[in-house]
Amino acid sequence: MKGFFTAIAILFFFNSCKENGVQLSKPTTFVKYYSDGNQDDAIDILETSDKGYLILSHSDSSSSSGGIIITKTDIGGNTVWEKSFSKNKYDYVPSNFVAMKDNSGIDLGYIVVGTVKHWTFGARLFVLRINSTGDFKDSISYYTKKLGDANSYRQNDGEYVIGKGVAQSSNSTNDFFVVGQVVKQDLITPVPPDINGKGGDMYFAQIKGNAPLDTATIFTRIYGAGTSVLASRLYLDYTQTSAYWGGTRIDDQGRHLRLINAGFNSLMTNFDLPYPTGQSGFVGNDFTPYGYGFTLVGNDLGKTKIVLISVNDVGHEVRPMITLPTDNSSIIQITGNSVCSTLDGGLLVLGTNAVDAQGTNTDYYLTKLDASGAPVWERTHGGKYPDVGVRVLQSSDGGYVVLGTTTLANVKTVFLMKTDSQGNFE
């Protein structure tokens, strides 16, 4: 077992928000904004092998159309290239993406998973592949419980398939995995108004990385586990034989943070657990590999506090629930959006903090915890308009990267901030 823990700790180091090749020089800091003139929502970010960044966002150009924007930046956040993927009368809403790497760690391309919506067929999970310069390679949409079955676009009346997470394996063929869920909606509204609404069954599939997507599916599995809202994350264990995903679980006892583990092509999940044990009234928004397991982040239903739950690789809680801020007497509303592990064994948490009761002015809330879970520092960043946290990661130079959506002149704009190791920027 000791050997297992050592190996899984090494895997989590490389699969978490930490990056390889740490430099001791002072981290570069900056604040950047990205917009195509439409209502743009930040979705995800990763550090590329050349130490720049890749930003995934959604552009809402009209009531019936929207598309994916992928922006490549250099180490200073300056745009290197930007690519968009859209189709008239379709709304492509990305959820998560991952880099395809060679044995030396160089990015070969990227895989995007998400949901495509249309006013006649509802919604369905899609997978998109691009090369390292953002050029289109191929894509596919999955329709029903039997992924790839094009005879029907719904599982049942009022149920639509949406995409949530993607992860790449380290095998020689660069296979990757996707997770999705069913969203239940009234057929009177053909396009689901909220693709993150209540979900039913969960989808898990393995896809060949070296084959055309229309012939690449290796297996698909369906897990009927009640109502859930999945976070846009998927991680593989170090043995490359099982995967973890999570989010919010909704049952007769209320709402809980949730973590699920399932083996590849397994008929059943290994575990599907609610947190915190014996309590309800919480939602889960993100999770990250941490130590020998994971840390989940969310908030209570009243949004009065951010909550963190740390578990081991078999889902057992390893320490009491952490709540943030430690003094929440002045909190109006706060949401726990994202979490990542840090190079010194701690955690970094990104939230959205309401400045007024109307929710028209919110700020980015950033806090650093040490290995014991104790707060080291906290920072707030933002202007007089809505700033909504999306993702946080630690860069390879030891600084921190915050991705969010900021409203400027009534236009939602992608926000990227790079701070030093103390959460400050110059």
The per-residue pLDDT for 319 is 96
Name the least confident of 139-143, 271-275, 390-394.
139-143
The per-residue pLDDT for 63 is 60
Tell whether the model's pLDDT for residue 148 goes beyond 50: no
Query: What are the phi and psi torsion angles at 345 (to 5°)?
Result: 90, 5
Tell whether the model's pLDDT for residue 283 goes beyond 80: yes
Within 10 angstroms of residue 38's Cβ, the number of other Cβ atoms is 18
> Where do we find the tokens 């006649």?
120
Q: pLDDT > 70: what percent of the chain?
A: 84
The per-residue pLDDT for 185 is 57
The per-residue pLDDT for 358 is 78
- Token duo for residue 82: 């930007």
For residues 46 and 35, give the distance between their C-alpha atoms in angstroms, rounded to a whole number. 18
- The DSSP element (H or E) to which 4 belongs, if any, is helix 2-15
pLDDT (tens digit per residue) in 375-389: 999 999 998 889 999
Asked if 317 and 309 touch (Cβ cutoff 8 Å), the reply is: yes
Asked if 119 and 89 touch (Cβ cutoff 8 Å), the reply is: yes
For residues 247 and 300, give the distance between their C-alpha atoms in angstroms, rounded to a whole number. 13
Q: What is the mean pLDDT of residues 394-415?
A: 95
Tell whether the model's pLDDT for residue 121 goes beyond 90: no
Q: Which is more confidently placed, 297 or 410? A: 297
Q: Which is more confidently placed, 191 or 296? A: 296
Q: Which is more confidently placed, 219 or 414? A: 414
> What distances in angstroms separate CA 340 from CA 24, 99, 308, one per listed residue?
20, 18, 11
* CATH level 3 topology of 39-275: Tachylectin-2; Chain A (2.115.10)
> Where do we find the tokens 């430099």?
23
Confidence at 145, pLDDT banded by 50, 70, 90? very low
- The DSSP element (H or E) to which 11 belongs, if any, is helix 2-15
> Where do we find the tokens 């020998």?
292
pLDDT (tens digit per residue) in 348-363: 999 999 998 877 899 9
The per-residue pLDDT for 226 is 63
> What distances in angstroms separate CA 395 from CA 97, 269, 346, one per listed residue?
17, 33, 14
Q: Is 409 left (phi over 0), alpha (psi -120 to 50) or beta?
A: left
Tell whether the model's pLDDT for residue 257 goes beyond 70: yes
For residues 98 and 117, give the distance between their C-alpha atoms in angstroms, rounded to a whole number. 22
For residues 393 and 400, give the distance between their C-alpha atoms in angstroms, rounded to a whole number. 6
Report the candidate in 152, 147, 156, 209 with the shortest Cα–Cα distance to residue 184.
Answer: 156
The per-residue pLDDT for 72 is 98
For residues 421 and 175, give the distance between their C-alpha atoms in angstroms, rounded to a whole number. 35
For residues 244 and 133, give the distance between their C-alpha atoms in angstroms, rounded to a whole number. 30
The per-residue pLDDT for 184 is 63
pLDDT (tens digit per residue) in 292-346: 999 999 999 999 999 999 999 999 999 999 999 988 778 899 999 999 999 999 9
Q: Which is more confidently placed, 191 or 370? A: 370
DSSP string, 366-415: EEEE-TTS-EEEEEEE--SS-EEEEEEEE-TTS-EEEEEEEEETTEEEEE
Three-state secondary-structure class, residue 215:
helix
> What distances in angstroms separate CA 171 from CA 5, 130, 238, one per listed residue?
21, 20, 12
For residues 211 and 194, give the distance between their C-alpha atoms in angstroms, rounded to a whole number. 33
Confidence at 203, pLDDT banded by 50, 70, 90? confident
The per-residue pLDDT for 22 is 42
CATH classification code of 280-420: 2.120.10.100
Tell whether the model's pLDDT for residue 250 goes beyond 60: yes
Return the domain boundaries, the chain: 39-275, 280-420
Three-state secondary-structure class, residue 228:
strand
Q: Are strands 347-354 and 227-230 parallel, antiparallel or unpaired?
A: unpaired
Partners of 138 in the β-ladder: 129
Q: What is the mean pLDDT of residues 69-77?
A: 97
